[in-house]
């Protein structure tokens, strides 16, 4: 039971850090850099938490994701592809927030 609580806590910390870095990116205007950082942190934490990868390898995965996304987002085609995907993800997050608040979603199922 304790391992499950620690897993949830680690997942929560990763999601909170990713959210904070994304919000900072929106305010500072360097959205490419901060999106890459947020997704790198999220990928490193989730690879360690979900896949039980060694923390050193998870850090390397995070750094590799950061470098790859930063390089791709600095190209014209990569910017539009990754920007479009992230915009859709943010739209879905903000779509589900009111539903969660009003109790319309229960364990991922929509209850209309």
Number of domains in the chain: 1
pLDDT band of 110, cuts 50, 70, 90? low
Helix (H, G, I), strand (E, B) or coil at 105: strand
Domain that holds residue 73: 2-110
pLDDT at 95: 81
Nearest-CA neighbor of 35 among 89, 76, 95?
89
pTM over the 0.85 mark: no
The CA-based angle 27-31-34, given to 5 degrees, is: 90
- pLDDT of 21-80, one tens digit each? 777 766 666 777 777 888 899 899 989 988 999 999 999 999 999 999 989 988 889 889
Q: Is the pLDDT of residue 89 over 90?
A: no
Q: How far apart are CA 51 and CA 106, in angstroms?
A: 26
Q: Is the pLDDT of residue 102 over 60?
A: yes
pLDDT at 104: 64
């Amino acid at each position: 039971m304790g391992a499950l609580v620690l897993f949830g806590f680690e997942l929560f910390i990763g999601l909170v850090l990713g959210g904070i870095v994304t919000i900072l990116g929106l305010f500072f205007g360097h959205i490419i850099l901060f999106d890459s950082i947020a997704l790198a942190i999220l990928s490193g934490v989730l690879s360690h938490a979900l896949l039980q990868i060694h923390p050193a390898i998870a850090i390397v995965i995070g750094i590799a994701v950061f470098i790859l996304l930063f390089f791709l987002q600095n190209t014209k085609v990569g910017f539009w592809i990754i920007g479009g995907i992230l915009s859709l993800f943010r739209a879905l997050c903000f779509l589900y927030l009111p539903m969660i608040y009003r109790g319309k979603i229960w364990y991922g199922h929509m209850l209309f």
